[in-house]
Homo-oligomer: A and B are copies of this chain.
Amino acid sequence: MIVLLTNDDGIYAEGIQMLGEALLQDEELELYIVAPNHERSATGHAITMHRPLRAEETHFYHNTNLKGWAVNGTPSDSVKLAIEYLLPQKPDLVISGINRGANIGTDVLYSGTVSAAIEAIILGIPAIAVSLVIPPADNKAPDFRFAANFVLRIMRYICEHSLPADTLLNINVPNRARREIAGVAITRLGLQQYRNAFQKRVDPRGKSYYWLAGEPEETVGEEGEDTDVAAVKKSYVSITPIQFDLTNYQMLDSLRKINWEI
């Protein structure tokens, strides 16, 4: 099995390194790491068109045959370049993560982690995105071990059952010890809304600037218990199947009934 590992926190981030080490325990796995050379969070599905990309070969973990490339682009660039050019053949699975911080609800649209996995399924490769849920108020250091082991289990599931070609699994794992995790919830994407989205400040020269800020709104009650937003709040591992067709099929018929003369 050939696995491509990527992320959006950058190739040297703790989450991808921990996951890489866990995956290397499986000796039947052929592992490649291709990821941005520095943090590219909140880049959404951006790709680099107006300048060329560089891919620098990178070595981690002594005494392994692991190959890695650090790309001076976005997570989606990294996956595209890896699959279309760098890897000797197409991978069987792309894993994006482990991200430091949740990727849930509407926020997945901004997520470099999830977008890297979406790039994979666009190219016909099954994918999973994995994130560690670290609530802002929580002072615990991130511990990627349980999440890394969970990824190994999910991989076995995918080997046995396979995923639909156009679907990835978006997995959010609480930053907790195994005994504190409530279970696994299969969820739909919730709505993650923020209040006080921007803070206005004034620079030393009297000109205004705006910081993206915002605290998540507590909307769980209103929009249902079966969302990823609700699941992670209750310390569940959340697994959401995600596809990339944004068409609103319900609306096609009503639009077709309109007389659209040119």
Contacts and interface: CB of A to CB of B under 8 A. Distances in A.
A201 B84 CA distance: 15
A141 interface: no
A67 interface: no
B212 A49 contact: yes
B255 A198 contact: no
Contact of A43 (B39, B46, B53): B46
A62 interface: no
Contact of A248 (B48, B167, B261): B167
Interface in A68-92: 76-77, 80-81, 84-85
A44 B42 contact: no
Choose among A157, A210, A211 the residue with the greatest number of B CB atoms under 10 Å from its CB.
A210
Contact of A201 (B52, B237, B241, B249): B52
Interface stretch (A13-21, A24-32, A102-110, A131-139): A102-110
A1 interface: no
A47 B54 contact: no
Given A53-B210, A197-B84, A200-B85, A242 B237 contact: no
A213 B34 CA distance: 20
- Sort chain A's interface into a size bin: 35 or more
A197 B44 contact: no
Given A81-B198, A239-B255, A42 B52 contact: no
Contacts of A43: 44, 46
Given A47-B110, A118-B109, A240 B247 contact: yes
A222 B42 CA distance: 35
A157 B258 contact: yes
Interface in A199-250: 200-201, 207-212, 237, 239-249
A115 interface: yes
A258 B161 CA distance: 11
A181 B262 contact: yes
